[in-house]
Every structure is written in C-alpha cells, then in structure tokens.
Amino acid sequence: MKKFYLLLAIVFSFSYTINAQDWVFAEQFASTGTVKPVDIKIDGTGDIYIVGTYTDALTIGGLTPLPNSGSDDIFICKFNSNGTALWAKQIGGDGKDIVGGIAIDPSNNIYVVGSHKSNPLQFQGESTSFFNTESSSPKFDAFIAKYDLSGSLLAADSVFWGANVERLDGVTYDFTKDYVVVVGSFKNELKYDDSGEQTLVPVSATLKDLMLARFDPSLTFVDMVTYNSTVTGTILKHVNTGIIGGIVNCYYLTGDLLGDLSEASSSLIVSSADVLRSDIVVMKVKDDLTLDWGRMGGSVTDFDHINSAGTDAYGNVYFSGKAQSISIVLDSIYEDPIMYSSAPRATLGGHDYLFAKYNRDGNLQWLSRLGGPGDDNAYGVSIRGERILYAGNVDNGGNVSSGFAVFDLDGNLIINDSITGDGIESGLNVSFDISGDSTLVIGTFDGDSLKAGPHKLDNATKGVKDGFLVKYGFQFSVFEVDKTNILCNGDNTGAIEVGNQFGTEPITYEWTPNVSSSNTASALAAGPYKIVATDFEGRKDSVTIPLSEPTKYGTIEDSITWTSCNLSATSGNTSDGAVYISDTGGVEPYIYSWDDLGGQTTQDLIDVLAEDHIVTVTDANLCVEVDTFTVLEPTMVGHGGTTMDLVTTSGNDGAIYLNTYGGTTAVSDPEYGFAWTGPTGSGFISTEDTIEMLDFTGEYDLTVTDDNSCTFDSKFLLGSLNTVVATISPQDVTPVTCFGGSDGCLEVSHVGGVGPYTYEWRTTPGVPIGGNTIKICGLPAGTYFVRVTDDNDVWDEASATIEQPSQTIIAWEDSTKATSCFGSTDGAAYISVNGGWGKYSYLWIPGGKTTQDITGVAARTYNVTITDSLGCVYVHPDDVVVPSAVELITGITVTAPVDCYGGITGQLTANPTGGTGSYTYLWDDPGAQTTQTALDLSANAYKVIVTDDNGCKADSIYNMGEPFVVSLTEIILNDVACHGDSSGSIVVSLSGGVGGYQFSLYPGDFQSDSVFNDLKAGDHRIVAVDGNGCPLGGGIDSTVTLTQPAEALAIVSVSTVAANNKNDNDGSLTVEVVNGGTPTYMYRLDPGTIQPGNLFSNLAPGGYTAYVIDANECEASYDTIVNDNAVGIQSTGVLRLAVLYPNPSTGKFTIEMENRDGEDLMLEIVNITGQLVYKQLHKYDGQAMFIRTIDLGQQAKGTYFMRVNGLPVNAKLMIE
C-alpha cells in the first residue's frame, strides 16, 4: 500500500473572496441556555430543515418558543428559502437526549435519528412516546422519528436498546432501495427488531462495537452489519450514500479510529498503531452490506478527526475535519505518486483544517491542510454539481471566527468568507441551497453579537451559546482557469481557458479580439483578451486576461580570439581560437550547441580552428536561435619575391635573397627567426634572412619562426646552369593517411639547367604514371621515381617512398538493447574496434554521441564513424539498429453516449494495443476511474493514461458530446371559445435532444402529436421528452393557462307579442336580456337567418327557439311560444322549470315540476304551428312535486311547447 503525504499546507483564513457576494439573511436560535445546531438538509422544494439540541426554552424566528424539559432536548425546525421560520418541534423528556442527524426522502419526509435517556421520550404535540429500557438508571437508547413536511409526526420508534449504551450518530436515505440507513455504536448487547426482539452480543462486553443498519420508510428493521473495535474511542460518525449513474450502490462510513477495526467475521479492515490518539477512518460498504475497502490516516503524535463527510454524483467521497498531528499520512492504493509525494509538512499552528477526497476505488485524489497560527477546525461538507462547500472556525489569537469555503472537485479554492463576532463563533455544518447558488451555514456564537455581512444577531446572554443560520448568495462570475503565455517572441503559442461559477447553463462566451466562442482559445499571440460570459438567464460577467511573451532572443558577440598560427604552420597552435558571446532576451537557462568537432555545449567556444562556427541556442521555452561566428587566423608565412644567384664555375658566388612576409610580427618592424641548413655534406648553417657566397648546389632548408612561435618550413634548391639537380624531400612526401588508401602525394624539387623542364613519373616496375607536373597526388603506398629534364636534355632522377599505416580499422557490433517503451530513450548499442593507429574517436549519427558504446538512446538506425589518431576514418558499413518495444497506443471508443443534456450516462472505453504485458488505466474524470471503461460520464473532454508492465504510458483524449437541451421553442395557445366547452388547443414546438419527441399534458399519456385539442380552460402542464427520454430543460416542465369567457352565454329573458289569430303573421319576439359570452352579439330564430337585431317580427303563432351568437360563435338558445289571441296564451317572459322524460319520446312522457305554492295547474300543449293539442286542469293534490304522465301518442312527430297557468315551460317536447 502506497502512502501519500500531505502536499498542501498553506496559511488560510476566512477573509478573502474572489467574486461578488451577497449575504441574504441571518436567523437566530435564541435561548438563555446552550443551543447547538447539528445538521442541516434541504428538501426538494428548497425549504431548510435543521436539527440540534438546547438546554432551556428556545426561540426560533418569530415562532412560539419551544419548551425545555429540564435537560438536553432536541429541536427540529423548518425555514423557507427566504429564511422565514415555518415551524419548530421539541423532542425530549426528563433525561439527556442527543441528535445524530437528519435525512430527507424523495417525498420530502424527514427522518431524525438520535439517542435518549429520557424516560419517556416525548414528541411535542403528539401522543407518541416511548420509555428507556433501563428505567432505574437510564443509558442511551437509539431512536428514529419521521415527520412530514408540515411538521406532523408520522412515526417514531426506539430501534436499538439494551443494558448499556446504544447510539445513532449518522443517517442518510437510500432513495434507490427506499431505506433509512443509520450508523451508530453499542456496548455489551444490542436489542433490535420490534417483531422479535433479537439480541446481538458484541465480541467484548467491555468495548464498544459499531453498526450499520437499514430500515424501511415505516421504520421497520431490514438488516444490519456490525464491526468490532479494539479501543472504545473508535466511532463511526457519518454515513453517506455512494451515487453512481444516478443510483445508490454503496455507503461511505467515516469517523475516528483507535487501534483495530474489524468485520464481525474478525477480518481486519484498518489498523492504527495509536491506541491513545485518534486517527481518521473511511470505509466503503457495498449495497449488500459487504465491505469493499477501508482507509485510515493520521500519525502517532497527536489526534486527527473527521467531522463531516459527503459524496458527489461520481461516487467520490469527501471529508472535512481537524489535523492536530505535526504531519499526517493517508492511505491510498496508488503504487506511483500520482499527485502526492512530498514529505510531511509541519503544522501551521495548533490545529489545522483537513480536507480530502477519495474516489470510488479508494484512491486518494487530493489532500489539503489549511490553517493559520491558531487552532482551526473544519465542519460540514456539501457537494452540488462541481463545487464542494465546507464550514470552519479560525482561531485569530483567542477570537474564534467562523466562515465557509467553496472548492472545486479538484480541491482548488473558489471562494470563502467570514462570519465574525466578539466571542467564539463556530460554524458546525453547511449546505448548498436547492439551486446551488447560495450557501447555508449553521453554528453557534457566545459573544454579544454576530455579523454576517450587513446582518447582525444579538445574544442576550453573553457567554452562553446561541445558534445561527446564515445564507450567502453567490453571483455569476467568469474567471481564469489556466493560461499559457507565448513561449517564443512573435509566436502564436498562447492559450486561455476560463471557467464560470454560479451561472445557469448553457453559457455563451464573447472574446475581444474575436478568437473563440467557447471557454477556451489557443494559437494566441501576445496581448490582452477580454472574455464576456453570459448565462442562460442573461447574467453577464467579464474578465480580461493578458498574455505575455519573452523579449526576442539574441546573441551578442563580445569578442573573438584569432588562432595563434595559420593552419599551414609546421608547428605552433592552430586551434586556440575562441568565441565569447552574451545573450539577451528569451527565457533562461540557455542550452548551447556548437558545431565544432568536439560538440562544445558551453556559452563560449574555445580551442577551435580558424573557420565559421555555428551555435544553436535553445532557451527554457525551447525557443531556438542560430548564429554564425567566424574565427580568423594570421596569414601564412611566405617568401614571394625571393631571388637567387646560381653557383657558377668559379664557385663561392651562389646566393638566396629572402623576402619574408606573413605570420605574426610587429607591423612596423617585422622580426622573424631564421634557421638555414645547406645541402648534405656542405655543413652550411645560418640564422640570417639572406645567405650569400654559397659554393654548393642543392637543397637549402629554411625554418621561419614568428612572434607567436609559429614555425613555417621552406626549401630552396640552388643549382647551376650546366647541371640539373632533382630531389624529393621527406617533407614533400605525403603518406597515405589510412591503410589501403590512395591519397599519397610526391613533389619534386630541382635547380640548375635551363628551362623549360619536363617531368616523367613512374612506379618501381617502370610503369609511367601521372602527367608532366612537378607534383603528383592520388597515389597508394609504394616507391616512385621521377626524371627531371631541362631544355638541353640535361636530366636528373629522384625517388621516394610513400608509406601507409600498418593495418585498417575494423569494428563489429556486439549487441543492442531495445528500448523499454516505444519512443523512450533507454536503448543501447555496443561495438568492438580493432586496427588503425593509436586512440579512437567516435561519432554516432544521429545524436552526435562520441563514445564507443551508446546508451540512453531512442530506438532507430544509427551509423558510427570511427577515427584513429592518424585521422583515418572508418564508417561502419552496416547500420546499427537499436530495436524498439512495440508501441503502446490507445484509442477511445464511445461505449454509451450521454443521452440527455447535463446527463451522466456516458461511457468511454480505452482500446490499447502494443506495449508489454497487461495494462492499467487512469481516467481524468471526476471519479478518477481506473477501469478500462469509464462509467457515468457527462459531456466533457476526457483523457485516459494507459500503462503497461514496463511502465510505458500512452494517452488519448476524447471529447464526449451531448445533445442540446430539449427546449420549448414555441407554444401556441388557442383559448376556450365558449365558457365550459372543450374547444381549447395547445400546439407545442421543441428543439434540441435527439428528436423523436413525445408530448403529454400531465398526467395524461404521451403522444407523438404535438397538438392537443378539445381542451377545457385552466392550467395545463406540458411534459415532453425526446427519443432518449430526456425531459424539457433538464427536467423543468412548462405550465400554461387556457382562458375562457368569464360567464357562459345565456338568454335570460325574451318577450313575445301574440298574433291576432292563428292565421295571421303579425306576432313578434324580442330577446330582452343576454349574459356572458364575448360581445358583440348576433341573433337568429330557428329556423331563420342571423341578424344583428334582437327583434323578430311578422311571426305566425307557434313555438320558436331564439339564438344568440357571440363574437366567438358561441350560441345560447331560448324556447318560447308566439300565441294567437284566439288561444289567449301570452308569454310573460317568466319560465316554469320542469323536467320531461323520456324526451324525445313516442308521445308518452312524464313531467315533473315543483308546486310548493299548492296551486291548481292548467297544463296546455301546442304544436309548432300554435295549435292546441292538449289542455287539462290538474287539481292540487297536496304534494310539493307535480308529477304526471301524459300520452300524446296520437299526435304527429314534431316539436311541442307547454304552458302551465299561462307561463311557458323551460323544456320543449320532442315526439319521434
């Protein structure tokens, strides 16, 4: 197991923020006793629930104070998102009661766990109560209580009890299995399960054991697993659900550890060497309650604690706490230090904040130790999206302040701020609000007051702790995530990445200059870049980021030193030239590479020949500059203009008049050193420049030395007119450089005779070679002859032998070593060498290595050139091949796409090939997954690093996309035209997603048609999904309202004027009063045409239906009769209400109507022409209801109208 040491230890305080902020509210838990808020949760509507303990009457907001039973009671309360207290409840009794935590299920039911000594434990306003099992000397029993969102107690039960202490310290809700999950501890025995009262005996009656248990929503026991500790101080404080892919598949348990912690089967989980000072413990338990892994951390020097823990959507677990150890070490299973390899760091004061993250595999992702010189402590963990929220306390030299800090998932600080007062302020827990754009902090303060921005709370009992709840709202902001300045002057290698926080996706970006439309830009030149970000709600923020570049690199020639001697000098230093340079610009340090034979890598070049020298300078950014410098040399010594006097027959009259120049001497008065020797046997020597009175013909040798001790050898042949003297001096013989070569040269010198001269060269066997020249080259080793003949055919011969080295250079390859990884530089090649002369020098191409064997090289083909001391060059005829390991490469394929905008259903699989042996994987997703396939991915760019058995690595990056958000682009509402009918319609248009949309008006069925017809007025909730089942706007439905006219269209009254008799057409009908509908109105009679007026004239006697039509073409009707005076029935416009059934009928029907006034009723029935077909007086029979059956079966089919006591009946009769 690899240990990772603390990497980050910096001074930290709640005193600095990096973006705009807003303290929204501050609320107080006021009491004359001690108040301690413990836990905080947010429900699905954004309301806030807090539990804690108190020791005297407690006032929360403007609510009625909670009573206290005389000891430590428990409170649970609810606030809305604006900080208004909605309700508060007391849990308590006559003993001490403690609360472990709070959890909320998807239906917004609230679960409170704790332990009680009260006997009985009572719930304010409820009849439910239960007793402590040890009534004589109560010890803690464990309970769970369930409330609804209005504060009504739904259930409560004592779930663990026994002869000693049973405690519940943490709770969470498993929404996948619908379980309440709790952690706690017990001693001696544990009784549980109301249905059978089972008893579990721990391993040791004197120690404390731990348990993880599950209950269903009715608080019925489901199952449990226990753990054995060897030291009583071990405690599991928290349980959190591990969520992967939107489902709960494990639980994380966190707490403090002393000694060993084992499963009930005695299998060791973690072990601490310290049994006196606590370490921290983190465990992962699968959803079948079997152990997955355990981790511990701490030291043997002091206490370390976990105070809170939380999980994210990727299966990572985070915790906060306190580090008291001078140095702290946490377990991890990484074999290589991926992130944390530094040695332990000294404490920053007394106690420091401790923050850490493990992934689902138990790999430590990061560890932060923050603090100042005092005793600091971190509480609370809340994760929302890509942010983590912590609370904490800072000791500023005795004055303890509280505050909060927000980090990203990689442990980088985003924002923090303080909550201050004049006493001790302790932040004890935190939560993001439902939007994730605000933070809620609970805690205590004991000073006169507490300040959170502009909000102030006053404590009426200084020195006694009141509680607080504060809310801090974040503002949308954009900030620099990373930038890469330009590496080399004038290049376009810059890059910028910005991030945003507390905005609503999607975010758009506008760059000035216009180089990108996303949050990243690359290939940038130097200069300032302004980025304006706009979130989905139109909020804007901007940041300006400058990119810099180095000044342009350049080399400055300080000085150049000439060589002392010309390269043609016989002796003297011809390679002591030097170049001295200075650098400007670029980024230090610089790397130098000169092109001299030795490949010097120093800033200055020394001991080189006179020639052009090229330097390649590479700065720290790998910017390259190439410059050329020329080293000069003195001119060679020459003797142009020298004259000679030939030796005559009289003798003693030969002379050589020397004219010397070149080399290095005083310019105004050149001084050379001369050393002459005469022909063999002459005994002549001289140190003068001109020699005279010479008797001997032949070769006179001269060595000239200049002021730099450079020597130059020359020869002069002095002859006579009658003889030719030919000679080949040793210095005129150029040997073959390398064995078997043909680069030998011979040069003949001669004097005397009369020119012109001819030259005949031949080999020892007499084979002619070369031409008629004084010098011949390109000769192999051997002996050669030359005959020099003057114009008088006087000749002389000379000979010389060209030598060569004794043997050639031979080299052969011994072995090669392949690179361990493709592209690595740990290959090698080994050769053996023989032959040549003296020491060898080597030059390997490429790479320029100058050793016999080469190591630390890349796999490729190399050529080696070997040079001996004579300069003989041997080029190895065969390529030396350093083999390569099989290249490890990997690609990434999409195993499953991201189905929905903002979803985490993506899966990527690495597909490695090559390399050596098996592979390991490391993804850079938030869960740092180590499997071949990374699961539960959102849209983002992901990188995988694949490592083989040789440690060779390959990586690949894949940009996982996602569909656009499913959005409502248009909603067309067609309101209900007529009050009460179903003429409304809704037309929906969508965009985004993957198409294949389905639509519904909740709670109706889904349909593929986006048009909903036949709708009534009212609210309609539009629900839509795409072909992947992705909802609108990431889950936000839209509710629209269809309206209708306020009242139904109705004719309230009509009036009629009777015709004079049944054959006249002088009756009329007037629609008097119309209500409801949508003006303006039109009218018609049935039969008849529509007219704007409400008067219908020239009517014959009979029954009529009058209609009113409003602007929406809604109709209302009214049945009436125009009588004739002969019948004598007149309409007063007042209806009698009656029910006719069956209607239509065959003529036999029943009429029902009220007769509460006890009248005799005259019933008249006329046909549509007004002809009276029935008339009967019905005497009052003492009944309030008039019910009669009438038979008109003998009448013709048609419409008939009724009057009772002269008043029209509201219904007409239809005979079929």
Over the stretch 795-825, which tens digit does the pLDDT of each residue have? Answer: 989 999 998 877 777 777 788 888 888 888 8
Q: Is the pLDDT of residue 758 over 70?
A: yes
User: And the tokens for 677?
Assistant: 């020797």
CB 752 within 8 A of CB 819: no
CB 91 within 8 A of CB 120: no
The architecture (CATH level 2) of 1134-1216 comes to: Sandwich (2.60)
The architecture (CATH level 2) of 889-960 comes to: Sandwich (2.60)
- Label residue 399 by pLDDT band (50, 70, 90): low
Contacts of 1010 (CB under 8 A, 6+ apart): 987, 988, 989, 990, 997, 999
As a whole-number percent, the residues of the chain with pLDDT over 90 amount to 44
Phi-psi region of 362 (alpha: psi -120 to 50; beta: other; left: phi over 0): left
pLDDT at res. 205:
65
pLDDT at res. 333:
58
The answer to which of 234-248, 900-914, 1144-1158 has the lowest mean pLDDT is 1144-1158
Q: Is the pLDDT of residue 870 over 90?
A: no
Contacts of 383 (CB under 8 A, 6+ apart): 310, 311, 312, 318, 389, 432
DSSP state letters, 23-54: EEEEEEEEESS-EEEEEEEE-TTS-EEEEEEE
Dist. CA 899–CA 635, nearest whole Å = 83
Q: Where are the domains of the chain?
A: 4-474, 484-547, 554-630, 810-882, 889-960, 967-1037, 1045-1132, 1134-1216
Q: Amino acid identity, residue 690?
A: T
User: Considering only CA atoms, which of 1016, 951, 1008 is closest in space to residue 983?
Assistant: 1016
Q: Is the pLDDT of residue 508 over 60?
A: yes
Burial classification of residue 471, based on how many CB atoms lie within 10 Å of its CB (0-12 exposed, 13-18 middle, 19 or more buried) = buried
According to the CATH classification, is domain 554-630 in 1.20.272?
A: no
CB 794 within 8 A of CB 749: no
CB 521 within 8 A of CB 495: yes
CB 1108 within 8 A of CB 1096: no
User: Considering only CA atoms, which of 177, 132, 180 is closest in space to residue 158?
Assistant: 132
- Label residue 397 by pLDDT band (50, 70, 90): low
**Same fold yes or no, 4-474 and 1134-1216:** no
| CA contacts within 13 A on the Cβ side of 530 | 6
The answer to which of 518-527, 550-559, 704-713 has the lowest mean pLDDT is 550-559
User: Considering only CA atoms, which of 862, 858, 805, 790 is closest in space to residue 836?
Assistant: 805
With tokens 């709670």, the residue in question is: 1003
Mean per-residue pLDDT of the chain: 86
pLDDT at res. 877:
79
**pLDDT, tens digit, 9 for 90 and up, residues 442-490:** 999 999 999 888 899 999 998 899 999 999 988 888 989 899 999 899 9
| CA contacts within 13 A on the Cβ side of 344 | 14
Cα–Cα separations (whole angstroms), residue 162 to 114, 191, 200 = 15, 5, 10
**For residues 1001-1013, average pLDDT:** 93
Neighbour tally for 1145: CB within 10 Å = 18
User: And the tokens for 473?
Assistant: 């709202």
Most confident of the ranges 594-598, 634-638, 854-858, 893-897? 893-897
Burial classification of residue 793, based on how many CB atoms lie within 10 Å of its CB (0-12 exposed, 13-18 middle, 19 or more buried) = exposed
Dist. CA 695–CA 508, nearest whole Å = 106
CB 311 within 8 A of CB 239: no
- Label residue 136 by pLDDT band (50, 70, 90): low
Contacts of 841 (CB under 8 A, 6+ apart): 850, 866, 867, 868
CB 1173 within 8 A of CB 1166: yes
DSSP structure class, residue 664 = S
**For residues 287-310, average pLDDT:** 88
**pLDDT, tens digit, 9 for 90 and up, residues 544-594:** 999 999 998 888 888 999 999 998 888 889 889 999 999 888 888 998 988
Q: Indicate whether this model's pTM tops 0.75.
A: no
DSSP state letters, 303-360: -EEEEEEEE-TBS-EEEEEEE-SSS-EEEE--SS-SS--SPP---SSSSEEEEEEE-T
Dist. CA 663–CA 635, nearest whole Å = 5
pLDDT at res. 199:
82
Dihedral sign, CA of 1029, 1035, 1036, 1039?
positive
Dist. CA 719–CA 694, nearest whole Å = 10
The neighbouring-strand residues paired with 953 are 947
pLDDT at res. 341:
32
- Label residue 396 by pLDDT band (50, 70, 90): low
Dist. CA 459–CA 628, nearest whole Å = 81
Q: Is the peptide bond before 1144 cis (omega within 30 degrees of 0)?
A: yes
> CA torsion 925→931→936→940, rounded to 10°?
30
Furthest C-alpha separation in the chain: 197
Dihedral sign, CA of 98, 104, 105, 107?
positive
Dist. CA 1170–CA 1152, nearest whole Å = 23
Q: Is the pLDDT of residue 345 over 50?
A: no
Q: Is the pLDDT of residue 342 over 50?
A: no
The CATH T-level fold of domain 1045-1132 is: Immunoglobulin-like (2.60.40)
According to the CATH classification, is domain 4-474 in 2.120.10.30?
A: yes
Task: Say how many residues make up the chain.
Answer: 1216
Burial classification of residue 356, based on how many CB atoms lie within 10 Å of its CB (0-12 exposed, 13-18 middle, 19 or more buried) = buried
DSSP structure class, residue 65 = P
User: And the tokens for 1142?
Assistant: 């069956």
pLDDT at res. 240:
97
pLDDT at res. 23:
86
Q: CA 687: distance to chain centroid?
A: 88
* CATH number of this structure's domain 810-882: 2.60.40
Q: CA 250: distance to chain centroid?
A: 24
Burial classification of residue 418, based on how many CB atoms lie within 10 Å of its CB (0-12 exposed, 13-18 middle, 19 or more buried) = buried
pLDDT at res. 4:
28
- Label residue 874 by pLDDT band (50, 70, 90): confident
Strand bridging mode 673-677 / 698-705: antiparallel
Beta strands in 455-587 (DSSP E): 455-458, 466-474, 477-484, 494-501, 508-512, 520-524, 527-534, 540-547, 554-561, 577-584
- Whole-number CA gyration radius for the chain: 54
User: Considering only CA atoms, which of 558, 552, 551 is closest in space to residue 603?
Assistant: 558
Q: Is the pLDDT of residue 243 over 50?
A: yes
Neighbour tally for 461: CB within 10 Å = 15
Burial classification of residue 490, based on how many CB atoms lie within 10 Å of its CB (0-12 exposed, 13-18 middle, 19 or more buried) = exposed
Dist. CA 1136–CA 1118, nearest whole Å = 13
**pLDDT, tens digit, 9 for 90 and up, residues 1099-1132:** 988 778 899 999 999 999 888 888 777 543 333 3
Neighbour tally for 311: CB within 10 Å = 22
CB 19 within 8 A of CB 381: no
